Amino acid sequence: MPVKLPFESVKISPDEKLQDKQDTIELIAQLEDLAKRHPKKGAVRKFTNLIADTNTPINSWKFNEWDYASKKVSLPTYARGLFTKGNEIICRGYNKFYNVNEFLEVSEDQLKKNTTGPYTLTVKSNGCIVFISGLEDGTLVVCSKHSTGVRDDIQKNHAMAAQRALESQLIGIGQGKERLASALYELKLTAVAEFCDDSFEEHVLEYKNDRAGLYLHGLNFNTPRFRTYPMKKVNEFGQMFGFKETKSRRFETFEELIKYLSNVANEGTFEGEEVEGFVVRCYRTENHEDFFFKYKFEEPYLLYRELREVTKQFIRGGPQNVHFGKHKLICMDYLKYIMPLMHDNQELREQYLDNQGIIELRKKYFVARGKTGLEVIDEEVSMAKLEDEMRLLSFGDSQICKYAVVTVATIGCGKTTTSLALANLFPNIIGHIQNDNIRRPVGNKLVAGALEILINRPIVILDKNDHKFIERKQIFDDFDQLNEVIPTSKLKFICLNFLRNRPQEDKDLWNITRERILERGDNHQTIKAAGKGITKAEKIIQGFIKRFQPVDPGREPDSKFDLIINLDVTSPDSSYANVKTVVDNLISFASDLNLTRPTEEQFQEAFKSALDYKPSVNKIVHSKGGPRAPAYFGIVIPNAEELQNKVVKLIHSTGLDWKTYETLKNTDRLLNDLHVTIIHYKSRKTNGESRALWNMYVKQVFFDDLTKIDENSPKIKGCSIPLPSSPTADIKLEKLCSNDKLVCIKVSVLGLYHADGREIHLTAGNKFPHVTLGTISSEIKSVESNNLLNDICEFHATNGIQCLDFEDSEENTLKGLPIFAYY
């Protein structure tokens, strides 16, 4: 029976209807196909369950969060939340949308250019999203983002809780649920609402008593293309069925909208009420399709979340277990306040872990402080600055400057020798960082490291050739970008100019540096000049000389140096005199440091030990006696502890018991050396494709990168120590999984890179790349993780299995992890 609605539905022509139908069939076929490709990029996870109170199966389709934003993959739909039955869409979420400035595409400039008004600003409610729809027979369908119906494998069923809330809402206004279901079925719409109820689950904002309920914020067409009803109609519909209203406000132009947002950002409120942010609805200019973006207030919500996390950590593991984030000082202050309240109150602690009473406790604290969240944050900023400054500037003496010493030279000019001698002479004053010691990709790590040294010492030498303008410019740029604590006026740049003239014409320079490098032999991180290496080394030295661009104080970037110290490489023993020249210059230029000139003996001693220096990191070593093929390739997780912390944090966030994990911890069976196997040589045997892939790995990774590392090196065999220079990988933590035998993390490999940074275009050979965290006995081998993941991902097994998704965040993306070969 058609349902009469107090408003006119948006009309669709019969042609459009037909098109939508065809598109839907095509989309579902594509999804079915993609689901088989799991877990590759762009794949989709299909989950089938029964619609509550029926025997009707319904499929949920879930993409990897990060694929929505990926430029490399194109998804068949960008709907976040999609449920189908047969060849029909039952529920359709909004197209995934982003925060303003989260990506270039949603920068203010781009939005202004590519969207058209009117702009409808709607208040973002803070709960969990639910999709509501109806079947022909009047059955109501209520889904959370990716789930619907009764399930026995999850602890909290958001869909069912929302369904109950919806039912009592309808009873409250004397409406049958069939009526809502039929209306949505007739109109082919999904009602999108936010389920906010602190008695079910607390989020960041408070939703108690009257405020608790379902906030309707959208009506989407159940079609592949994203089309949604205007806000006015959404509210009319909402009123009819007793939903809570989503407040909105309309702006004709982008300028008006932005002006409003920047005004309101300071208070973080809408019509006097605390809100987390807004969702803005508008249209894509090119095709007039519906387009959304959001605008979220960072604070005080970030602080609120942090307070919640530290409290949970504290309850679970006491003070030692607390990891602070951005708001360390406030969190400490807050913990001090809540500790006595928590102490004798087990109920409070238990409820808190079940997401109850979080807001109450936070409010108590702010009341005790007599300030709002934002006010306390304001205070913290000034405290933090003060702390940094005190650490940086040796107390009370505001005259002290920081000096970044930048070398400009070619290979063998004595940069390292000179720097080491200087650091030997003034160990507490001069720090030294060598570019050659930094694992590639180097990026801005040299400057980042230098800044770190500057926290404790006033001078740092950045030991690198910097033989071209662009290299020098990069140093200045990196300082600009990374330096957050040293006042610009107190940061001075000094250039150690080893080569004054055009080195291309300087025969002596060539002879001296070539001779030195020959002599140095293999005592260098990358340039190996012993034996046959000399021709290669000569080429490298020549290359630097050829490209050298002399320091030119009359132009940028060299004009930015506050002092240029001219040095000479005119004799084989030039470095000794250079050390003295630098010291003399520093004494007069960095007068605030009151350096005393060392004695002749001190100079000599410092120089001698600089000459004896042998690098302790080895980037590339010749392979001896030809390479052996490895047993497998893997990715090292250099910091096992950090990963364990993430796991613990994730587990704690759910409040569930993870027995196997506990057992591993208590029996000391958590592995210390963690890795992800990328491909095993045994995989050659499965089929021709795998063999080809293995061979490509051997060729591209092993011969191009890894054979250059000494295969006898213990660093390769035990994977606890990261290799100084190796191919690298970026991975993402996806899912923590366990059964009664083991615990592992399913990861996805985002990219593989050669040691020089070029991408390796190979897929992982392992179907479910993972990190095994530990097995309960030595009988159970790590490879069993594959079986567990197969059960979970292929068969959706749930029996005796625990599974938990990692949040899709930067923090859970691990970049630049070394790749190793295992023999």
Q: Any idea which residues carry the catalytic annotation? A: 124
Q: Which is nearer to Mg ion, 122 or 416 (CB)?
A: 416
Residue 520 binds what, of ligand GDP, Mg ion, none (CB under 5 to 8 Å, by partner type)? ligand GDP
* Contact indicator for 558, 573 with CB cutoff of 8 Å: no
Q: Which is nearer to ligand GDP, 378 or 519 (CB)?
A: 519
Question: Is there binding between residue 411 and ligand GDP (CB under 6 A)?
Answer: yes
d(CA 373, CA 519): 64
Label residue 588 exposed, middle or buried (CB < 10 Å: 0-12, 13-18, 19+): exposed
Question: From the CB of residue 343, how many other CB atoms can be counted at a distance below 10 Å?
Answer: 10
d(CA 35, CA 590): 65
In sequence order, what are the beta bridge partners of 432?
461
Question: Is there binding between residue 416 and ligand GDP (CB under 6 A)?
Answer: yes
Q: Restricting to residues 415-474, name those near Mg ion by CB under 5 A.
A: 416
Residue 282 binds what, of Mg ion, ligand GDP, none (CB under 5 to 8 Å, by partner type)? none
Closest approach of ligand GDP to the CB of residue 579, in Å: 9
* Contact indicator for 727, 752 with CB cutoff of 8 Å: yes
Closest approach of ligand GDP to the CB of residue 410, in Å: 8
Question: Is there binding between residue 185 and ligand GDP (CB under 6 A)?
Answer: no
Q: Which stretch binds ligand GDP (CB under 6 A): 444-452, 515-523, 765-773, 779-787?
A: 515-523
Kind of pairing between the strands at 491-497 and 277-284: unpaired
Question: Is there binding between residue 435 and ligand GDP (CB under 6 A)?
Answer: no
**Cα-Cα end-to-end distance for the chain:** 71
Q: Which is nearer to ligand GDP, 230 or 550 (CB)?
A: 550
In whole angstroms, what separates CA 571 from the centre of its chain?
A: 50
How many alpha carbons lie under 13 Å from residue 572 in its C-beta half-sphere? 9
What tokens were used for 435? 């570019």
In the bound state, the residue with its beta carbon closest to Mg ion is: 416
- Picking from 189, 277, 270, 195, the residue whose alpha carbon sits closest to that of residue 236 is 189
Residue 660 binds what, of Mg ion, ligand GDP, none (CB under 5 to 8 Å, by partner type)? none
Residue 576 binds what, of Mg ion, ligand GDP, none (CB under 5 to 8 Å, by partner type)? ligand GDP
In whole angstroms, what separates CA 146 from the centre of its chain?
A: 23
* Contact indicator for 497, 414 with CB cutoff of 8 Å: no
Closest approach of Mg ion to the CB of residue 483, in Å: 25
Cis amide linkage into residue 615, ω under 30° from 0: no
- In the list 150, 154, 381, 611, the residue contacting ligand GDP (rule: CB under 6 A) is 611
By rule CB under 6 A, what string of x and - marks binding of each residue 541-580 to ligand GDP? -------------------------------xxxxx----
d(CA 725, CA 816): 11
Closest approach of ligand GDP to the CB of residue 743, in Å: 47
3-state DSSP assignment of residue 175: coil
In sequence order, what are the beta bridge partners of 821?
633
Alpha-carbon distances, residue 470 vs 415, 465, 503, 557, 566 (angstroms) = 19, 12, 18, 8, 20
Closest approach of ligand GDP to the CB of residue 444, in Å: 21
Closest approach of ligand GDP to the CB of residue 475, in Å: 16
Q: Which is nearer to Mg ion, 416 or 497 (CB)?
A: 416
User: Counting every residue, how long is the chain?
Assistant: 823
Residue 440 binds what, of ligand GDP, Mg ion, none (CB under 5 to 8 Å, by partner type)? none
Closest approach of ligand GDP to the CB of residue 501, in Å: 17
Question: Is there binding between residue 578 and Mg ion (CB under 5 A)?
Answer: no
Question: Is there binding between residue 491 and ligand GDP (CB under 6 A)?
Answer: no
d(CA 24, CA 84): 10
Q: Which stretch binds Mg ion (CB under 5 A): 266-274, 295-303, 414-422, 670-678?
A: 414-422
Question: Is there binding between residue 413 and ligand GDP (CB under 6 A)?
Answer: yes
Which residues would be at the binding site for Mg ion (CB under 5 A)?
416
Which residues would be at the binding site for ligand GDP (CB under 6 A)?
409, 411-417, 516, 519-520, 572-576, 611
